[in-house]
Amino acid sequence: MNFYIDIFTLTNVSTTFYSILLVLLFLFWNQNKDIKSIIWWCGFPLFRIINSIISSDSVYYDNEVWIYLGNLSIIISDVLLMIGCLKFSNLKINYYYIAALISLFSIISTMQFNMHALLNSRIQSIVLFDTIIIIISIYALSKLETDKYCLEKFFTIFWMSIQFIVFAIWMVDDFKIINVQDVYLYDLGLSAIYLSHIFILVGLIILAIAKRRNQLIAENIIFEELEKTLTITLTNAQIANEEKANFLTNMSHVLRTPLNAIIGFSESLKLEFYGTLNIKQTDYANNINEGGQLLLKLITDLLNLSNIEDGKVEITLEEINLNHLINKTKPLLNEIISHSNVSLIINNKLNEDCIFPCALVDQIRTKQILINFVSNAVKYGNKNGTITVELNDFDQDYFRISVQDEGVGIAQDQYENIFKPFNRAGSEKTNIEGIGVGLSIAKNLVEQMHGSIGFSSKIDVGSVFWINIPKSKQRNFSLI
Ligand code: ADP
């Protein structure tokens, strides 16, 4: 069968493929810049395209310099392919050797140019250098782990070998094929080389995709391991937390029984149920009673915090009238300040029309927070000062309850610690009793009621602690 392969058509077709595959490679690199070899591989089709352009110029201008530059671009294109392969297989690259290889080729080409060498000897030097480059590239790819890159690796090596085989045939034939009239066979060899280039490029793309796939698999394994470790850690933490909660509950029950007895008996002694006490005895009975009460409060606070943290505290949101809530809490607040010299002012700035259920909160928990604020105002406030409880319409959605004192205030560097459990924000250095859980309980509770908590303070002027609690929708409705 007689067939003729038009070498220019072949060049044009392969240049089109080079361009398409170059764009694909570049786009893939753009998404996966960590796979450095891809950008080197982009140089392979790029310099092949440059070579095609230069070759076509050489045809028009019949200028031999273009031909030599074209030859150089072929070598550069294959060198870039080789560097990419070496990088892809994580092999060490000696750039001096590579520079020496390109320089040597350039020197030989310059000499051939000056000596007006024949096509045959020019092709010989290209083939010789290219063969070295292809062997190194095949060696680099052969180093890839077969279980990870099986198909991709052998596919690319196969097409590299095709080019190598053509070169080998030409060499064995002593390049007569080029000289002799048998131009068809030479073109056939060239076609095989062009075809191999296109499939090598396809191979490079699938190699890059395989690398990304393997990276994802590896990442997935790490994530799964991490997830397992996290699950185990979380389970252990949950178990530890449950144990802590159980321990606290048991301990508080165990401690409460004798404590209640101590408080009860010291109360009876104080009230002189069992006979008159002298001044010293009364003093001691008072001390025992106060100490017992304090201990009971601390234990209750601890248990409260633990229960809140474990989500065991049930919050019952109901629509309540804040005026009623404050009126009901007043006696308790008066009781708290009764042991001190401070005076209490309740400043109710709520709207007069607030006769409907106004706030949507848990009544008991709101009282608890208010009591905590007032207790703190007594503890940390001015011993002879004033505590002001204020209620106001904060905005469309919230009421604000605030407690202001005239105490020492809070240092700015302690602001971030105020609501942290067991953090006393510097008060541990004073002789004021406490364990630093009251405000963290308050924060937890108010947030569960969909409200917020905050404070402002000025050293030696005093502090204002506040909560914003949600208004009930019914109230808004009733106002419309
Ligand atoms: P406790 O009073 O048991 O230490 P709290 O959680 O109620 O625990 O308060 C945490 C810390 O916040 C206190 O130790 C204190 O340093 C600071 N604090 C709270 N209320 C006030 C206040 N009204 N004025 C100044 N400091 C305060």
Tell me what pLDDT residue 479 has: 42
How far apart are the CA of 424 and the centre of ligand 1, in A? 6
Bridge pairing between strands 452-458 and 398-404: unpaired
pTM above 0.75, yes or no: no
The pLDDT tens digits of the residues spanning 141-155 come to 999 999 999 999 999
Nearest Cα residue to atom 13 of ligand 1: 424
**Contact yes or no for 391/350 (Cβ under 8 A):** yes
Ligand 1 atom at minimum distance from 462 CA = 24
Tell me what pLDDT residue 350 has: 82
Ligand 1 atom at minimum distance from 418 CA = 12
Ligand 1 atom at minimum distance from 425 CA = 16
Tell me what pLDDT residue 60 has: 52
Please indicate whether residue 299, judged by its CB atom, sits closer than 6 Å to ligand 1: no
For the chain, residues with pLDDT lower than 50 are 1-2, 476-480
Please indicate whether residue 438, judged by its CB atom, sits closer than 6 Å to ligand 1: yes
Please indicate whether residue 404, judged by its CB atom, sits closer than 6 Å to ligand 1: no
Tell me what pLDDT residue 76 has: 94
Please indicate whether residue 369, judged by its CB atom, sits closer than 6 Å to ligand 1: no
Tell me what pLDDT residue 477 has: 43
Rounded Cα distance, 55 and 61, in Å = 10
Ligand 1 pocket mutation pick from 424, 432, 455 by most atoms within 8 angstroms of CB: 424
Tell me what pLDDT residue 431 has: 86
